[in-house]
Chain A
């Protein structure tokens, strides 16, 4: 495996970030290295095939996948019978097991859907019954007194809740990175800074990219918000993606003691609503909003959006608003106007689209990947000779698990894990060094943050910004 800037590729996997693409034909190329595309590439990496994964960005997970609420959903509230319902349920099981094996942090906190008015309270039995239709049997309705006992800081007026013990929080930064790392170590070529501009199809497909042509026999479209545009290049007008923005506020780690469960809203006419949830990094998140836009790049926050979140948050957990804000961000869901994923196979074209993966794609990613590979097989891709991918173990970013700065044995073996660089998040020089030398190295300081938490904390660089930047620049040579 090699990492190059020039495009030279060995027989093993590779990561390239510039220069011409390798000559020759790939068996399968996946467009889009979000959580869905990386999961598909990882699934394909089991096969003795030549696989490419390409992304326009300088890193994996740079699209919607880095900016969500990071909940590992049970699928209790999906549309029963939908493809999403099945894939979320399977994905939950698959990702839970994969996380345990690779070290992706997951915390099984359980969720409470809190009813704040009679209408919401009246909706709970229906939700409990829907959960059963989705194959989820552990949900039950709990009375107001129990809700209060389990969440003492909850604002006044909660009338009851639906308890969904299986809902968990997961690390949405480590997940696509683990998939990509494993894919590359198992032989996949990851080409970054590689935007697909056009697709010419005859016997095989020729992707016209910002780094030149790339030839491939099979093509998978996992381009997220742009999946409809790639589809159009192949002559399909099945669906149109409308970006639905979700703005979020992340509160300081000192707020973590205020909340014990994922506090989900009871879904109403206006969509899923605003939740309050701990994160695996030990802080507390409030959001998201839901705003339909027409600009697929508009990931900015707005004064109105933040004011709305604060108003909702004050109702749910008043003390939260007294805590410091650590970060504000926004993600765009790939909404299609349809209530289900838009996963379509076009066997004659040796082409599969994984589109419309709106608000559950992180959870469902591994199941989507398995489903897409089945569709490729039905379209004629040879899937014999599968082997287990090379095992990977990811660095732990989860606060509930042993972080390097607290690991005496690790520090004794390598004192760099005792040298804290980012004080708020307690990120050590050893971790930063490892990230810079990893299989899929960060393309920017933001990428380094998603691999280590460096600079993700309350001071946002007041103390460590210059030091982290220096290490990043030094590490890139």
Chain B
């Protein structure tokens, strides 16, 4: 038997995005605002990040735990309830979530649901890296928790796969744990090196070796050269995928580019009353970006609570290669939010275009370098020109 309860807003996930939306909503008098967090502690990813660089603007001395302590204080001071050790496991109705906690099973019905379940890195298996299945194969997420939250032993010689900001954090965490980082490996032509660590660019991981414990990895350079790096640990970094299970189990439509829920500029998903914010929408961005999405979502959630009807979803916004994804990706309410755009390849001073049904809507040159690890932020005033009853709007290069 599970207990049935009602709240005004149910937020799933107490990371920066979920805490931010809860703080705003509770502060604005949205009624009972409850945040569910499956971990024993609130805070999401930053709780595992012992480096500075959080906040908005970025504060070099502000580390992840301190940052989310502030966010938690803001949410609870505003009157939101944050419950930890509670997992949302599925749906019992369009706005009813099933939960499990040591206190038992519950079915919680809300007037609005906000999904803020974050993102994770693709592990070795999802990247189809062949070879044996030894111990010593991690993602940054597991590495950080092992070292910072559990003080566990990591190996002596590590290889880091990836050369994006999160890979550099992995290198620092490995060093803090007393491991030597023998190389960073990236299949991209360039990467951001860390002093003292050889950076192998245009290089893929061929195969893992070792029984019981990892003994080495085969690396293959684009020019055909091949070799084995001896190591007992390998950390797969980056390559984010939204934690979209709950969204998908609720029948929420997912964008093929981001793999997160498809949302409009008001964070409305395809399911009436269900909103989505934070890394769930696009994989990893700065915590401040996730929190800003949470803050901004409070306005449309309040509108929903006061009876605003759920609009038709509007045309989809999609991308063409080498662009990977854009978020938001539904054009219900043009011009409301900046767009985040990712490219799979580095681009220098790209000319971006938007077209709908063969009609060019917009074209602009961006005098910047677009790196695959960073999103470009686009003002979205041009989306006013979109025909709301037209076909998909496609963003491309040139």
Contacts and interface: CB of A to CB of B under 8 A. Distances in A.
Dominant SS among interface residues on chain A: mixed
Nearest to A322: B256
Interface string A400-420: 000001101101100110111
A463 B87 contact: no
B348 interface: no
Most buried by B among A408, A418, A467: A418
Given A324-B126, A461-B138, A411 B85 contact: no
A248 to B, nearest CB: 11
B100 A405 contact: yes
Contacts of B1: 408-409
Given A324-B241, A459-B120, A470-B150, 10 more contacts: A250-B125, A301-B130, A325-B126, A326-B126, A405-B89, A418-B103, A445-B135, A459-B123, A463-B141, A465-B146
Interface string B1-28: 1100000000000000000000000000
B352 to A, nearest CB: 27
11 contacts: A297-B211, A305-B130, A324-B241, A325-B125, A326-B126, A408-B2, A411-B100, A460-B125, A466-B146, A467-B145, A470-B150
B125 A426 contact: no
Contacts of B139: 459-462
Interface residues of B, number: 42
B27 to A, nearest CB: 30
B142 A465 contact: yes
Contacts of B100: 405-406, 411, 418, 420, 426
Given A405-B89, A415-B102, A302 B130 contact: yes
A306 B211 CA distance: 20
A469 interface: yes
Contact of A460 (B87, B101, B124): B124
B128 A462 contact: no
Interface in B134-193: 135, 138-139, 141-142, 145-146, 149-150, 152
B125 A462 contact: no
B121 interface: yes
A423 B101 CA distance: 12
Q: Which residue, A408, A445, A462, has most C-beta atoms of chain B within 10 A?
A: A462
B104 interface: yes
A424 B245 CA distance: 9
Contacts of B2: 408
Contacts of B122: 324
B146 A420 contact: no
Contacts of A250: 125
Interface string B86-114: 01010000000000111111000000000
A394 B124 CA distance: 31
Nearest to A409: B1
B104 A411 contact: yes
A299 interface: yes
A270 interface: no
A327 interface: yes
Interface string A297-335: 101111101100000000000000000111111000000
A412 B206 CA distance: 49
Interface in B206-251: 206-208, 211, 241, 245, 248-249
Contact of B150 (A329, A416, A458, A469): A469
B253 to A, nearest CB: 14
A23 interface: no
A138 interface: no
Given A461-B123, A470-B150, A300 B130 contact: yes
A386 interface: no
A411 B105 contact: yes
A465 B100 CA distance: 20
Ranked nearest first, the 4 interchain pairs of A and B with the lowest CB-CB distance are: A460-B123, A415-B102, A462-B141, A465-B142
Contacts of A100: none
B38 interface: yes
Given A297-B211, A462-B139, A466-B146, A418 B102 contact: yes
A392 interface: no
Contact of A423 (B38, B103, B142, B241): B38
Interface string B356-388: 000000000000000000000000000000000
A97 B145 CA distance: 44
Contact of A328 (B85, B102, B128, B241): B128
Contacts of A300: 130-133, 207-208
A416 B102 contact: yes
Interface in B243-298: 245, 248-249
A410 to B, nearest CB: 10
A406 B99 CA distance: 9
B105 A303 contact: no
Nearest to A405: B100
A293 to B, nearest CB: 14
B38 A306 contact: no
Contact of A325 (B85, B101, B128, B249): B128
Nearest to B121: A462
Nearest to B141: A462
Contact of B120 (A254, A328, A408, A462): A462
A198 to B, nearest CB: 23
A418 B105 CA distance: 8
Contact of B87 (A302, A329, A409, A426): A426
Nearest to A419: B102
A466 B105 contact: no
A408 B105 CA distance: 6
A450 B142 CA distance: 20
A449 to B, nearest CB: 11
B38 A301 contact: no
A324 B141 CA distance: 18
Contacts of B208: 300
B89 A418 contact: no
B133 A426 contact: no
Contacts of A419: 85, 101-102
Nearest to B243: A459
A265 B381 CA distance: 54
B152 A470 contact: yes
Contact of A306 (B121, B130, B149, B245): B130
